[in-house]
Chain A
Amino acid sequence: MSDLHELLYELKKREDFEIRVNVQPAIKLPAGLNKKLIYEISEAKNEPAWMTEHRLKSFEIFEKWHEPDWGVSREELDLSKIVPYVKPNAKKTTTWEEVPEEIKQAFDKLGIPEAERKYLAGVGAQFDSEMIYKNIKEELKKLGVIFTDIETAVREYSDLVKEHFMKLVPPTDNKYAALHGALWSGGTFLYVPKGVKVPLPLQSYFLFGNPGGGQFEHTVIIADEGSEVTYIEGCTAPRYDVVNLHVGTVEVYVKKGAKMKYLTMQNWSKNMFNLEIKRAIAEDDAVMTWVSGSFGSYKTMVYPATILKGNNSVSENISISFAGPGQHIDTGSKVIHIGKNTRSTVDARSISIGGGWSFYRGLLKIMESAKGSKASVSCTGLMIDNKSKSDTVPIIEVYNTDSDVGHEAKIGRIKDEQIFYLMSRGLSESEAKGLIVKGFIQPVVQELPFEYAIELNRLVDMEIESSIG
C-alpha cells in the first residue's frame, strides 16, 4: 500500500509542473534567404511592381507557415543549399565530367541526341530547339495563341497574367507554395483564344533554356471558351540538376466548353526532392485531362487536382508512377465536384520495384451542390518484387445523395506462372517483366505522342533491367 501511495505522491508533484504541450520550435531561415534576395531577383527580371509585391508577400507567408505534417519525410532537405542558385545570374551549370554516370548511361540507352544531352544534364545553357520552334511559332501567331516563357508574359501581358497568377494556387496554400511564390523563376505562359483548336501538342521543350529555369517553374495555361489544346511538360529522359529541390506550380484555367490536356513525364535525377502543385479549374462543359508519368527523383509529392466548378464539367486523371530502388513516390489526385452533373475518373497505376515505395493518396470530394455527379476511382499497384511497398490511401467525401461514387483498388504482383510462360517462349526474365509492365501502363502510353511512347517503353526496360541486376 505504501508503495502505491508514494507513486501517487510523486505523480502529484509532477502534475503541478508538467508542461503538457509541445512547443513548436521557431522556424529558422537558411542563410541568405531574406527579403534582400527577393528584391534582387525581381529587379533582375525587370518585373512590374505587382509581381515584386507578390514575391514579398509570399515570402512573409513562408516565414510564418508551418511545415505540412504529412507526406514524405523532408528531413534531408536543406534549403540553404538552393540559395546560391536562385540569385540572379547564378552560374547554374556543371561540367560534363560532374554529371553522374547513371545519367550518362541512361542517355545512351534512351538514344538521346548529343545536343539534348548537354542541356538535360544542366551543362549547356540552351539547346537548339530554335529550328523546330520557329515554324510552330508562325502557326500559333496566326491563331492568336500566346505561347511564351512566363517572365516575358509578366512583362508583355501583365494584366492577363496578373488576373491568373497564383490565384488558383495561392501562396497561402502551403509552405512550399509560399516559397515558390517568393522565388519562382522560369515556366510557361499559354493562352488559347476562344474557339481556337491548337492542332498539335505544345511542348515545354520548345521553351527550354530559360535563365534560372528548373527549380521553381511556374506555368499558367488559359484555355478560353471553346478552345482545345494539349500541353506536354518535361520528357521521359532523365534530367539532372545541381540543385536538388523542384517546386513547380501549374495553374490551368479551362473556360466554358474548352478542352485541355496536360501531360507530364517527370524523370528528375535520383537525388531530387520533387514537390509539385498542379491545379486546374473547369467551368461549364469544360473537360480537363491530366496525364502524368513519375519516374525519377528521390522523393516526389504531386497530386494533380481539378476543381469541377462548372456544370457538366469533366475531369480525367490518368497516372503511372514508378518507384525504383530508394525512391519514395507519394502521388495521387484530387477532384472536387462543385457543379451539377459533373463527371470524374481517376486511373492511377503504380509500379514498385527494387525496394521502392509507391504511395497513392487521393481526395475525391462531392460537394452538396454537385447533384447528379458521377465519380469513379481505380488504383492498381503492381509490385514487381518482394522488396518494395505499395500503399493506397484514398479519401472519399460524399456530401450529397444524388451522386454515384465508386472506388476500387487492387495491389498485387506479376505471377510466377506468367513469367515462366513468357520465358518458355524465349524471353529473358527482365524482358518478360518488361512486357507485363508495359501492358500494365498501356492506358497512359496510348495518351502520349508517338515519340514519347517509344521513349517511355525504353525507359521501362531500362528501369527494370537495372533493378533486377
Chain B
Amino acid sequence: MNTTKIEKTLRLEHQNLRGIVPQRKTIDTEDYKVDDFKPSGNNLLDEWRIRRLSEYLTYKFPMWKRTGLKSLSLPNVLPYKGLEALDIDGLNLLETLDFEGTDRKFVLLADVFSSSGEYIVVENDTTIVVNDVSQFDNTLIDIRNGELNFVRIVENPFFIGNLRIKVRRNAKLNLYNLYLGTSKDDLLISNVFIDVENDSKTIVKDFYFGGKINVGYFGMRVNAENAYADIRPYYLGNEKTVIDILYLMRFYKPNSYGNVDAKGVLTDEAKVVFRGIMDILSGAKEAEAHQSNHATLISLKAKVEAIPSLMVDENDVVASHAASSAPIDENMVFYLMSRGIPKEDAQKMIVRGVFETLKDELKRYNLEGVVEHALDSVLG
C-alpha cells in the first residue's frame, strides 16, 4: 500500500483553479529490463526496489530541449550497492522522501540500479567525505542529532544519483556537492532532496564544472517552523558544457527562512539554465524566501537562461527574486587597474573572486584545490 506523498516540482493550483503542467516529451532508447535487477540480500529493501522498478518500467526517458538531451546510452548494470543497511526505520523514512527530481525516471533508476551509496544515521557531530561514487548512487541520510558535514565529490564520466537527507529538529547540515567533469562527454544527473524539521539549519554549496551535460535537481521541503536554509549553487562553464539546474524550496509552515543564491562564470560556448522555484503555501506566515542568479559571461557565445519563479499563496511573507547576467563589471575592472593591475589580470581576479567564499570553506577539508584546479583549467 503505497501512500507516499511525492513532492511535486510544480504546484499549479489554487482553491478550485488549476494551471496546466507542461507534458513531458520522451525519447526512444534501449532501456534496462527486469532481468537487470540485482538483489541486495535485504528483503525489506528489495521489496521496495521492485515496486520502484515496476513504476520505472512505465516511463520512457525524457527528452530535454534546453539541455540538449536527445539520446542516452546506458552502461551495463553493476552489482547492487546502496541502501543495504536499510532497516524498518530507514524504510519508513524513505517512503516520506519521495520526489520528482530531474525526472521521475532518473530518480527511480538510481533507486533500483545503484552500485554505490549508503544509509547513514547521524547521532552526533560527524564529518564524512565521499569521493568514490559509482555510476549510479543512492544515499539516504538521517540526521537525528548534532551537525553533519557531508562532502561529496563526483568525478565520473557517467553519473545518476539520488541523495536524500532528513534534517531533524535542531540538527544541522553542511552539504558540499562538488560535481567535476572529467572530459567533454560526461553526463551528470543529480537528484537531491532534503526534508527539514523545526529549528534546523541547512547550508548547501554545490559546484558544477566541466563535462558535457550537468543536470542538477535540488528540492527542499520546509515543512517546519524556524528552519534556516542557505543554498548556494556555483557554476563554472566552459567549452560546450551545459549546466541545467533546478532549485526548489517549498514552505509549508510559518517563520522559516530560505535563500537560494546562484552565481557563476561562463565562457566559450557554455550554457547555464537556472530554474528557481520558491513556493510559499497558505499558512506559512512570515516566511522569508529569496532567490537570485548572477551570471558573469566572459565570452561572446556564452548563454544564460534563467527562470526564477516565485509562487506565493500567503500574503504575510517576504519574497523576492532577482536575476542578472552581464559581462565583468567595467567599474570593478577600472578600480583594480587604478591600483596598477593590468586589465586581463584584473578580469581574472574578479572571475576567481566569484568562487572565493566557496574555496575558503573547502579549506577545512583540504579541497580548495578542486576549485583552484577548475579555475586554472578555464582561465589559464
B contact residues around A328 at 8 Å (CB): 14, 17, 19
Asked whether B128 is an interface residue with its Cβ less than 8 Å from the other chain, the reply is no
Q: Which residue of B lies closest to A397 (CB)?
A: B305
Given A396-B306, A401-B298, A405-B326, do A357 and B312 touch, yes or no (CB 8 Å)? no
Alpha-carbon distance A127/B70, docked complex (angstroms): 58
When the two chains form the complex, which single residue of A12, A14, A384, A398 contacts B315, counting CB atoms closer than 8 Å? A384
**Contact indicator B325/A398 (Cβ below 8 Å):** yes
Asked whether A73 is an interface residue with its Cβ less than 8 Å from the other chain, the reply is yes
CB-defined A-B contacts under 8 Å, sample of 9: A11-B57, A14-B57, A70-B21, A355-B15, A381-B310, A389-B313, A396-B305, A401-B301, A405-B325
**Contact indicator B324/A407 (Cβ below 8 Å):** yes
Asked whether B47 is an interface residue with its Cβ less than 8 Å from the other chain, the reply is yes
Alpha-carbon distance A401/B304, docked complex (angstroms): 9
CB distance from A336 to the nearest CB of B (A): 14
CB distance from A301 to the nearest CB of B (A): 10
**Contact indicator A15/B57 (Cβ below 8 Å):** yes
Asked whether B46 is an interface residue with its Cβ less than 8 Å from the other chain, the reply is yes
Listed from nearest, the 4 A-B pairs whose CB atoms lie closest are A383-B315, A413-B315, A73-B18, A401-B297
Known: A401-B327, A409-B310. 20 other contacts (CB 8 A): A4-B46, A11-B54, A18-B57, A21-B26, A73-B20, A357-B15, A386-B282, A389-B312, A393-B307, A394-B306, A396-B304, A396-B325, A397-B303, A397-B306, A398-B305, A399-B303, A407-B324, A409-B322, A411-B319, A412-B318
Alpha-carbon distance A63/B305, docked complex (angstroms): 34
CB distance from A372 to the nearest CB of B (A): 12
Alpha-carbon distance A1/B43, docked complex (angstroms): 7
CB distance from B73 to the nearest CB of A (A): 19
Chain A residues engaging chain B, CB cutoff 8 angstroms: 1, 3-4, 7-8, 11-12, 14-15, 18, 20-21, 68-75, 326, 328, 330, 355, 357, 359, 368, 381, 383-402, 404-413
CB distance from A468 to the nearest CB of B (A): 14
Alpha-carbon distance A222/B59, docked complex (angstroms): 50
B contact residues around A3 at 8 Å (CB): 43, 47
- Size band of the interface chain B makes with A: 35 or more
Q: Which residue of A lies closest to B16 (CB)?
A: A326
**Contact indicator A70/B20 (Cβ below 8 Å):** yes
Asked whether B22 is an interface residue with its Cβ less than 8 Å from the other chain, the reply is yes
Alpha-carbon distance A75/B33, docked complex (angstroms): 38
**Contact indicator B14/A389 (Cβ below 8 Å):** yes
A contact residues around B312 at 8 Å (CB): 381, 383, 389-391, 411
**Contact indicator A69/B20 (Cβ below 8 Å):** yes
B contact residues around A72 at 8 Å (CB): 17-20
A-contact 0/1 string along B75-88, CB 8 Å cutoff: 00000000000000
A contact residues around B309 at 8 Å (CB): 391-394
Q: Which residue of A lies closest to B267 (CB)?
A: A401
**Contact indicator A357/B17 (Cβ below 8 Å):** yes
CB distance from A340 to the nearest CB of B (A): 14
A contact residues around B15 at 8 Å (CB): 355, 357, 387
Asked whether B317 is an interface residue with its Cβ less than 8 Å from the other chain, the reply is yes
Given A11-B50, A404-B326, do A412 and B315 touch, yes or no (CB 8 Å)? yes
Asked whether B320 is an interface residue with its Cβ less than 8 Å from the other chain, the reply is yes
Alpha-carbon distance A399/B302, docked complex (angstroms): 7
Asked whether B323 is an interface residue with its Cβ less than 8 Å from the other chain, the reply is yes
Alpha-carbon distance A132/B308, docked complex (angstroms): 48
A contact residues around B14 at 8 Å (CB): 328, 355, 357, 389
Given A328-B17, A392-B309, A407-B323, do A398 and B54 touch, yes or no (CB 8 Å)? no
Given A381-B312, A397-B304, A398-B305, do A409 and B321 touch, yes or no (CB 8 Å)? yes
Asked whether B311 is an interface residue with its Cβ less than 8 Å from the other chain, the reply is yes
When the two chains form the complex, which single residue of B19, B58, B311, B320 contacts A408, counting CB atoms closer than 8 Å? B320
**Contact indicator A412/B319 (Cβ below 8 Å):** yes
**Contact indicator B304/A70 (Cβ below 8 Å):** no
A contact residues around B33 at 8 Å (CB): 15
Alpha-carbon distance A396/B309, docked complex (angstroms): 11
B contact residues around A402 at 8 Å (CB): 300, 327
Name the residue in B22, B318, B323 with the highest tally of chain A Cβ atoms < 10 Å from its Cβ.
B323
CB distance from A274 to the nearest CB of B (A): 15
**Contact indicator B306/A407 (Cβ below 8 Å):** yes
CB distance from A344 to the nearest CB of B (A): 15
Q: Which residue of A lies closest to B39 (CB)?
A: A4
**Contact indicator B323/A396 (Cβ below 8 Å):** yes
CB distance from A204 to the nearest CB of B (A): 30
CB distance from B255 to the nearest CB of A (A): 16
A-contact 0/1 string along B38-60, CB 8 Å cutoff: 01000100110010011001111
B contact residues around A381 at 8 Å (CB): 310, 312
Alpha-carbon distance A298/B167, docked complex (angstroms): 43
Asked whether B119 is an interface residue with its Cβ less than 8 Å from the other chain, the reply is no
CB distance from B238 to the nearest CB of A (A): 14
Q: Which residue of A lies closest to B279 (CB)?
A: A391
Alpha-carbon distance A402/B313, docked complex (angstroms): 38
**Contact indicator A388/B315 (Cβ below 8 Å):** yes
Alpha-carbon distance A70/B311, docked complex (angstroms): 16
A contact residues around B92 at 8 Å (CB): none
**Contact indicator A386/B314 (Cβ below 8 Å):** yes
CB distance from B253 to the nearest CB of A (A): 15
Alpha-carbon distance A68/B33, docked complex (angstroms): 34
Q: Which residue of A lies closest to B313 (CB)?
A: A389
Given A401-B299, A408-B320, do A394 and B39 touch, yes or no (CB 8 Å)? no
Q: Which residue of A lies closest to B311 (CB)?
A: A391
Alpha-carbon distance A402/B301, docked complex (angstroms): 10
Alpha-carbon distance A25/B314, docked complex (angstroms): 38
Asked whether B30 is an interface residue with its Cβ less than 8 Å from the other chain, the reply is no
CB distance from B301 to the nearest CB of A (A): 8
Alpha-carbon distance A404/B295, docked complex (angstroms): 11
B contact residues around A74 at 8 Å (CB): 20
When the two chains form the complex, which single residue of B22, B47, B58, B318 contacts A7, counting CB atoms closer than 8 Å? B47
B contact residues around A69 at 8 Å (CB): 20-23
Asked whether B125 is an interface residue with its Cβ less than 8 Å from the other chain, the reply is no
Name the residue in B15, B33, B298, B302 with the highest tally of chain A Cβ atoms < 10 Å from its Cβ.
B15
Q: Which residue of B lies closest to A390 (CB)?
A: B312
A contact residues around B308 at 8 Å (CB): 394, 396, 407, 409
- Which residues of B, 276-309, contact A by the 8 Å Cβ criterion? 282, 295, 297-309
**Contact indicator A20/B58 (Cβ below 8 Å):** yes
**Contact indicator A389/B316 (Cβ below 8 Å):** no
Asked whether B34 is an interface residue with its Cβ less than 8 Å from the other chain, the reply is yes
CB distance from A327 to the nearest CB of B (A): 8
A contact residues around B325 at 8 Å (CB): 396, 398, 405
CB distance from B320 to the nearest CB of A (A): 5
Asked whether B37 is an interface residue with its Cβ less than 8 Å from the other chain, the reply is yes
**Contact indicator B305/A406 (Cβ below 8 Å):** no
CB distance from B240 to the nearest CB of A (A): 14
B contact residues around A393 at 8 Å (CB): 307, 309, 311
Alpha-carbon distance A8/B35, docked complex (angstroms): 8
B contact residues around A387 at 8 Å (CB): 15
**Contact indicator A7/B319 (Cβ below 8 Å):** no
Given A7-B50, A402-B327, do A396 and B307 touch, yes or no (CB 8 Å)? yes
